Amino acid sequence: MTNLVILPILIPLLTGVILLFIPKNIPFQKILSLISGLSLISVNIFLILNILNNGIQTLELGGWQPPFGIVLVGDMLAVLLVTTTSTVSLAVLLFSFYSIGAEREKFYYYPFYQFLITGVIGAFLTGDIFNLFVFFEVMLIASYILIVHGGTKVQLRESFKYVLVNIISSALFVIGVAYLYAVTGTLNMAHLSERIGSLETGAPILTVIAVLFLIVFGLKGALFPLYFWLPASYAAPPSAIAAIFGALLTKVGIYSIFRTYSIVFIHDTGYTHQILAVLAAITMLAGVIGAIAHQDVKKILVYNVIVAVGFVLFGVATLTEAGFMGAIYYLIHDMVIKGALFLMIGAMVVVAGTSHLKEMSGLIKHHPKLGWMFFTATMALVGVPPLSGFIGKLLLVQGGVDSGQYWIVAVMMLTSLLVMYSMIRIFLNGFYGKIILKEADQYGTTKGLLFPCAILVAVSVFLGLGAQALYPLVATAAETLLQPEIYIDAVLKE
Amino acid sequence: MEILMSILAGILFMAGTYMVLSKNMIRIIIGTAIISHGAHVLLLTMAGLKTGAPPLLGLKASTYTDPLPQALILTAIVISFGVTSFFIVLGYRAYKETGTDDTEKLRGTDSYD
């Protein structure tokens, strides 16, 4: 037991609270947010090293022994995702310094940004399913505010639906928690895993609860057929906010499915995980069809978020070591690369003054750095070796073959090609081609916008080239998920 | 008593779903509030209603009522209260800005307004 695990939650929370008290002092707000982001990353690196040496770190809040109290669990999967979250959030923060605009900054943009990060990180670290609900709500309320922040017509229109969908799914979450508590009498994930493991086989009510949780998390994580709300609402807010949403919010839903479907609901895998695998395959296809169909660069990218959901959840559904490792690796890769691509699309829209692909062309002439960075990120997204997407996809394919689900592997391959097509189209139409905008006619500058994109692209390249360094961490994370006993022992037996 | 509470939760879900499916913004908002209340009633019922003495140790009772659902429901009520009030303000702003409270007219189009 160590107090270190709560620091990643406390740092953004306290920063957000302090920022609330200085709404007028924008420069100070920026500096404090920056310091908070940097300290978050350093704390996380320290935590990773600590877990590698000493195993899973837990913290019993208020000194209440689990399963009675809420417990924070820093296992390798959670901390890897928290580290990625803090990296992406720092880069997006830098981007919003230059792009979010003075009006939004005055109305508490930075505090709510910090609260959003608090919710995301809390959801990764908690070991209690009701506490997961609470952190979901912290994250969602901050996201409601950010998605409507600025109050333009299109934002108000789309955020109404976004809020509605999320309130309904929160109500379903409470219902799921109620059923789970009625059947098992506990809400601690380790204790749940133990209780469900000791139940006699074929408890059908648990399968119902598992599917109910799949619906709840699928709504947040944009799983087919529950992703209908995502494209419009993610394309509405400014690029910085869209980037943090695309990179982090759906990933929390995916993480929750990952956690519950690997540690808690493992009593009837033939049924529940088969549903998950089929839905993941359809999600890939549906997402990529949307990506090809649209001409709006933001929409193309938003549909690519949905494709990644399918990839990761297929890895979860295989229930093999390679599949799990691939899912973890792809999840980390996708958080970084989606953040980078959203930011670069944002810079493109700033320069071209439109998000419609047909009205932009030849941007690479005046913005070669942006153009080639975008190309690199696209290659990383589709998984051209040695960039970061390749290793994740390789492991996912291996996991799929190990578990004998060949047709889904085939769907994955096909989808990857189509993702490549949809993204290369942006590159060829938007960056290459006839130059229609002179330097003087452009609608804005990329001053300050390229640096944060460069950070994320560099991280992505590192994830590919430095796979050797990352491999043991991912292997540890997958091991914990494959053998729930490790998790149970760490939480329940001190 | 549990049966009665379950039926009540069912009625709340039914009424809430009916309200959410309408086109009027304020009806939808009230509908979400009712669905949340249904979920809270269900949460309280699922853990079993009064099965013993109040959960205060030292009363020398043989059984105690489970205090956990009450802690959970309290948290959930506070959250749903906050979200509902936010949602009402959002609905009002959307009405002021777009000039309509009919969700049919709030459909997204592919124009870039």
Low-confidence ranges of chain B (pLDDT < 70): 59, 108-113
- Contact with chain A for residue B38, Cβ under 8 A: yes
Query: Which residue in chain B has the smallest CA separation from A232?
Result: B108
**What is the rounded distance in angstroms from the CA atom of residue A457 to the CA atom of residue A270?**
39
- A→B interface, C-beta within 8 Å: 130, 133-134, 137, 140-141, 144-145, 148, 151, 153-154, 156-161, 163-164, 167-168, 170-172, 174-175, 177-179, 181-182, 187, 232, 296, 354-356
Taking the C-alpha atoms of residue A136 and residue A119, their distance in angstroms, rounded to an integer, is 6
Q: Mean of the pLDDT values across residues A34-54?
A: 91
Contact state of A153 with B43 under an 8 Å Cβ cutoff: no
Give the C-alpha separation, A189 to A210, whole Å. Answer: 13
pLDDT digits (tens, 9 = 90+) for A180-221: 998 888 888 888 888 887 776 557 888 899 999 999 999 988
Residue A444 pLDDT > 80, yes or no? Answer: no
Q: What is the mean pLDDT of residues A236-263?
A: 90
Per-residue pLDDT at A113 exceeds 90: yes
Quote the pLDDT of residue A349: 86
Q: Is A177 in Cβ contact with B32 (below 8 Å)?
A: no
Quote the Cα angle for B73-B75-B81, to 5°. Answer: 95
What is the average per-residue pLDDT within A417-436? 86
Provide the pLDDT for residue A353. 81
Residue A52 has pLDDT above 70, yes or no: yes
Range with the poorest average pLDDT among A285-299, A313-327, A458-472, B44-58: B44-58
Note the pLDDT of residue A282: 93
Q: Provide mean pLDDT across the span A391-409.
A: 90
CA distance linking residue A74 with residue A1, whole number of Å? 10
CB contact under 8 A, B98 and A157: yes
Residue A392 burial (C-beta neighbours within 10 Å; 0-12, 13-18, 19+): buried
- Nearest chain B residue to A294 by CA distance is B110
Q: What is the pLDDT of residue A114?
A: 94
Chain A residue numbers with beta carbons less than 8 Å from the beta carbon of B97 are 151, 153, 156
- Reduced to 3 states (helix: H, G, I; strand: E, B; else coil), residue A74 is strand
**Shortest Cα–Cα distance, A262 to chain B (Å):** 25
Burial class of residue A278 in the structure, from the number of CB atoms within 10 Å of its CB (0-12 exposed, 13-18 middle, 19+ buried): middle
Point out the least confidently predicted range of A137-141, A476-480, B83-87.
Answer: A476-480
Would the CB atoms of B75 and A134 count as touching at under 8 Å? yes
Residue A426 has pLDDT above 80, yes or no: yes
For residue A306, give the nearest of A243, A224, A249 by alpha carbon: A224
Q: What is the pTM of this model?
A: 0.92
Q: Any idea where the domains of chain B sit in the sequence?
A: 1-50+65-101
pLDDT value of residue A466: 84
Cα A475 from Cα B52, distance rounded (Å): 48
Residue A325 tokens, joined: 């490792």
Percent above pLDDT 90 for chain A = 42
> Cβ contact (<8 Å) for A181 and B76?
no
> How close, in Å, is residue B61 to chain A by CA atoms?
21
Q: Could you tell me if A377 and A341 are in contact, meaning their C-beta atoms sit under 8 angstroms apart? A: yes
- Which DSSP category does A432 fall into? S
Q: Which of A26-35, A64-73, A275-284 has the lowest mean pLDDT?
A: A64-73
| Residue-wise pLDDT tens digits, A329-351 | 999 999 999 999 999 998 888 88
For residue A291, the distance in angstroms to the closest alpha carbon of chain B comes to: 15
Q: What is the pLDDT of residue B84?
A: 94
Which backbone phi and psi does A244 adopt, to 5 degrees? -70, -35
ipTM, 2 dp: 0.92
Distance from CA of B36 to the nearest CA of A (A): 5
The correct answer on CATH 1.10.287.3510 for the domain covering B1-50+65-101 is yes
* Model confidence band, residue A440 (pLDDT cutoffs 50, 70, 90): low
Contact B94 A157 (CB under 8 A): yes
**What's the pLDDT score for residue A494?**
61
Give residue A1's pLDDT: 55
Q: What is the mean pLDDT of chain A?
A: 88
Q: How confident is the model at residue A140 (pLDDT cuts 50, 70, 90)?
A: very high
Which of A134, A182, A356 lies closest to B112 in CB terms? A356
In Å, how far from its chain's centre is CA A288? 18
Rounded to an integer, what is the distance from CA A323 to the centroid of its chain? Answer: 18
Q: In what helix (H) or strand (E) does residue A401 lie, and over which residues does it extend?
A: helix A388-402
Q: Show residues of chain B in contact with A167, CB under 8 Å.
A: 32, 35-36, 80, 83, 87
Question: What does the pLDDT look like over A85-105, one tens digit per residue?
Answer: 999 999 999 999 888 888 888
